[in-house]
């Protein structure tokens, strides 16, 4: 098998990265934009020792689950890999991804529940991050999303998975920036002014926080003028901020943000709790789907009588705050100082008295105390927990661990470790937070 070789294949299943899997002479071939049951003519684009990659040249016989994407840019934009697949079948495929991870990585027999669908499959994304560049000849500002496996920007005028007002704001900036001499960022030369447009949108009240990420260390008059133009043009814009990021990095936001117009936050509501969301506040991109997760975890907490709860890797203590009225006492631990400061504001905003906040690494905090909690909520980053963190969680938990994960592979690894330590995996419940992608959130209930 060589690059540019063409074959006719039948797609067996979906990989954990959302590509179709076919086999040619026993070798696995990963095919982009392919659906199980598709019969396709493909061209090999990359050959490795154990597998190859390919792209679709022709759909010979489409799968019964293949549909027309509702976004005309789905083929060229890298954001919605699975939008050409019927939504109910997307959920079935995501369940399979979780089951495969549990079986092959975790060696876990516990069955996986059917995923809880997202309440919305359009307009659900409330955190928008658009890279910005500029054409060489016409100097036209481009703002959108990257093509798959590249840093080439697709100029997106309409994105149906985000609120329509966000498209309008981005287009306004795209057209207005050149009037004030603002240039788009050139990633190769590390030159240009505007690197990203970031928008935080409230699912509760529709208000927006607009953040202009600039390749600089101070606000210039042209950006001040642009910020005011945005603020004046849109009634729903609660504030416009400038974020400074002149480093060569894939990290979108720099460490410093300055508000130019209005306020530097929006309000969001989850289960009747009000949250303040700033430029760099970690908050779920799909608040209505997140609410399903919080409701599920709160229901699990409510099974115990006024339990003591550890909220580990807490961020702005969203879990701790949401479950506070089902718990006797909550201790939320987060190493990011800014997040804890935001959590303090939210506690005061909601009049919550039974949540205690600690700025600390979870493992180090647990090593420093002797107290045991009835229930521990673990919500680590995508890389999962260290074995040391899991050991400490076991040592300091009496009844159960609720493990929230956005990565089935690291969840399976960590559940395997907990099972080897004598724990029982009661249930694994997927939630579809990231519609039309291969990503899936999971909540595992673990009995000690």
Q: Encode pLDDT of 153-195 as tens digits.
A: 989 999 999 999 999 999 999 999 999 999 999 988 999 999 9
d(CA 404, CA 288): 17
| Residue 72 vs residues 75, 77, 91, 398: alpha-carbon distances, Å | 8, 10, 22, 52
Q: Could you tell me if 427 and 113 are in contact, meaning their C-beta atoms sit under 8 angstroms apart?
A: yes
**Residue 77's pLDDT is what?**
85
Which residue ranges does the chain devote to CATH 3.40.50.150? 92-119+286-447
Which residue ranges does the chain devote to CATH 2.40.50.140? 6-66
Q: Which residues are catalytic?
A: 406
Q: What is the pLDDT of residues 401-445, one digit of tens each?
A: 999 999 999 999 999 999 999 999 999 999 999 999 999 999 999
pLDDT of residue 273 exceeding 90: yes
**Residue 51's pLDDT is what?**
93
- Is the domain spanning 6-66 CATH 2.40.50.140? The answer is yes
Main-chain phi, psi angles of 208, to 5 degrees: -125, 145
Maximum Cα–Cα distance for the chain, whole Å? 67
Q: What is the pLDDT of residues 353-386, one digit of tens each?
A: 999 999 999 999 999 999 999 999 999 999 999 9
For domain 127-270, the CATH architecture is Beta Barrel (2.40)
pLDDT of residue 78 exceeding 80: no
| Nearest C-alpha neighbor of 154 from the set 132, 139, 123 | 132
**Residue 75's pLDDT is what?**
83
pLDDT of residue 95 exceeding 90: yes
**pTM for this one?**
0.92
**Residue 79's pLDDT is what?**
86
Q: What is the pLDDT of residues 8-37, one digit of tens each?
A: 999 999 998 999 999 999 899 999 999 999
DSSP per-residue string spanning 182-240: PPBPBTTTTB-SEEEEEEEE-TTT--EEEEEEESSSS--HHHHHHHHHHHHH-TTEEEE
Which residue ranges does the chain devote to CATH 2.40.50.1070? 127-270
CATH number attached to the domain at 92-119+286-447 = 3.40.50.150
Q: Which residues contact residue 118 at a Cβ distance below 8 angstroms, ignoring those fewer than 6 apart?
A: 124, 286, 288, 289, 432, 433, 435
Q: Which residues contact residue 291 at a Cβ distance below 8 angstroms, ignoring those fewer than 6 apart?
A: 270, 271
Radius of gyration of the chain (CA): 23
d(CA 268, CA 277): 7
User: How confident is the model over 211-239, as a mean pLDDT?
Assistant: 96
């Amino acid at each position: 098998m060589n690059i540019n070789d063409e074959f006719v294949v039948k797609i067996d299943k979906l990989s954990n990265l959302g590509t179709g899997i076919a086999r040619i002479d026993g070798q696995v071939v990963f095919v982009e934009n392919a659906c199980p049951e598709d019969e396709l003519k493909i061209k090999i684009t990359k050959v490795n020792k154990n597998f190859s990659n390919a792209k679709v040249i022709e759909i010979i016989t489409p799968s019964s689950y293949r549909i027309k994407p509702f976004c005309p840019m789905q083929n060229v934009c890298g954001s919605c890999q699975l939008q050409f697949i019927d939504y109910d079948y997307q959920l079935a495929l995501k369940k399979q991804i979780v089951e495969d991870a549990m079986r092959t990585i975790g060696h876990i027999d516990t069955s996986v529940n059917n995923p809880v669908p997202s309440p919305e499959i359009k307009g659900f994304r409330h955190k928008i991050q658009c890279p910005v560049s500029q054409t060489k000849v016409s100097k036209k500002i481009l703002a959108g999303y990257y093509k798959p496996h590249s840093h080439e920007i697709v100029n997106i005028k309409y994105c149906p998975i985000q609120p329509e007002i966000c498209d309008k704001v981005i287009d306004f900036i795209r057209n207005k920036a050149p009037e004030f001499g603002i240039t788009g960022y050139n990633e190769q030369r590390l030159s240009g002014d505007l690197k990203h447009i970031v928008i935080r949108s409230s699912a509760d009240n529709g208000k927006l926080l607009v953040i202009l990420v600039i390749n600089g260390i101070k606000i210039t008059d042209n950006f001040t003028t642009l910020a005011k133009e945005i603020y004046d043009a849109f009634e729903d814009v609660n504030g416009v901020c400038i974020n400074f990021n002149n480093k060569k990095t894939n990290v979108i936001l720099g460490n410093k943000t300055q508000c130019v117009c209005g306020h530097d936050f929006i309000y969001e509501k989850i289960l009747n709790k009000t949250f303040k969301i700033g430029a760099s506040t970690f908050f779920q991109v799909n608040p209505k789907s997140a609410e399903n997760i919080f409701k599920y975890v709160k229901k699990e907490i409510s099974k115990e009588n006024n339990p003591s709860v550890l909220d580990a890797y807490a961020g702005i203590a969203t879990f701790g705050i949401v479950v506070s009225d089902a718990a006797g006492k909550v201790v939320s631990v987060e190493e990011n100082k800014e997040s804890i400061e935001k959590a303090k504001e939210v506690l005061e905003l909601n009049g919550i008295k039974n949540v205690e906040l600690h700025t600390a690494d979870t493992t180090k905090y647990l090593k420093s105390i002797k107290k045991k909690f009835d229930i521990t909520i673990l919500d680590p980053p995508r890389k999962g927990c260290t074995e040391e963190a899991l050991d400490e969680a076991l040592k300091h938990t009496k009844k159960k661990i609720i493990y929230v994960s956005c990565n089935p592979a690291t969840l399976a690894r960590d559940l395997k470790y907990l099972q080897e330590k004598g724990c029982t995996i009661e249930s694994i419940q997927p939630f579809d937070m990231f519609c039309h992608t291969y990503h899936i959130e999971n909540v595992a209930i673990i009995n000690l």
